[in-house]
A and B are shown apart, each in its own frame.
Chain A
Amino acid sequence: AQSVTQPDIHITVSEGASLELRCNYSYGATPYLFWYVQSPGQGLQLLLKYFSGDTLVQGIKGFEAEFKRSQSSFNLRKPSVHWSDAAEYFCAVGSPGANNLFFGTGTRLTVIP
């Protein structure tokens, strides 16, 4: 069965500092991986996705993520966080032919001045 683990419930970083949000997945084959961001009162917005090819994927808002098969991870990174990045971040996994995505429980990011 597919599952996604986001081990960090809440992370606080200073504005301008680097960020890494962890995501581990469980799936038998190569998964399709996604990162979504949810700002307060907003719907989920896709940051980036990995289907195949280059394991380092670039997304919107300066985010990137790296697929590491050996570690079953797809961690999200940003070199310099902005106050507007404060939000809830969800990692999700899908697979070819699947009807839905499996989401992690989310990581809430707080950015302090």
Chain B
Amino acid sequence: GAGVSQSPSNKVTEKGKDVELRCDPISGHTALYWYRQRLGQGLEFLIYFQGNSAPDKSGLPSDRFSAERTGESVSTLTIQRTQQEDSAVYLCASSLERGTGTQYFGPGTRLLVL
């Protein structure tokens, strides 16, 4: 595709509900990243996928957060039992290579937990 796409663009949910965020990376990009951006903050790394290797989950803030990716395609980030502090913009990025590869970002999903 032309770029990284994410859906939904906005999500409002009630505290305690589960949410699922979707990321479609650029075709052919083996690496996929999820970041969280809280209001007025920089980007916080959450999780990284590289091909069929085991993901790097070192940035996930709690066990309520999980993510999946099948091969080199779509990824979903799931937040269970959402809390108000989960409110943020969730950004997905993909790249041809890990680490040094230029990361191309999607527009993000703005999550608001009431």
Contacts and interface: CB of A to CB of B under 8 A. Distances in A.
Contacts of A32: 99-100
A66 B56 CA distance: 31
B102 interface: yes
B65 interface: no
Contacts of B102: 34, 46, 49
A111 B33 CA distance: 32
Contact of B100 (A6, A94, A104, A105): A94
Nearest to B3: A43
Bin the interface of chain A by size: 20 to 34
A49 B97 CA distance: 15
A90 B45 contact: no
A51 interface: yes
A100 B107 contact: no
Contact of B45 (A44, A100, A104): A100
A95 B3 CA distance: 24
Contacts of A34: 102
Nearest to B49: A99
Interface residues of B, number: 26
B99 A99 contact: yes
A100 B59 contact: yes
Contacts of A95: 99
A99 B56 contact: yes
Nearest to B43: A103
B108 interface: yes
A96 B42 contact: no
B42 A103 contact: yes
Interface string B25-59: 00000000101000011111100101000001001
A44 B48 contact: no
A98 interface: yes
A44 B91 contact: yes
A42 B110 CA distance: 11
A43 B45 contact: no
Interface string A88-108: 001010111111111111100
6 contacts: A44-B91, A99-B50, A100-B48, A100-B99, A102-B45, A105-B40
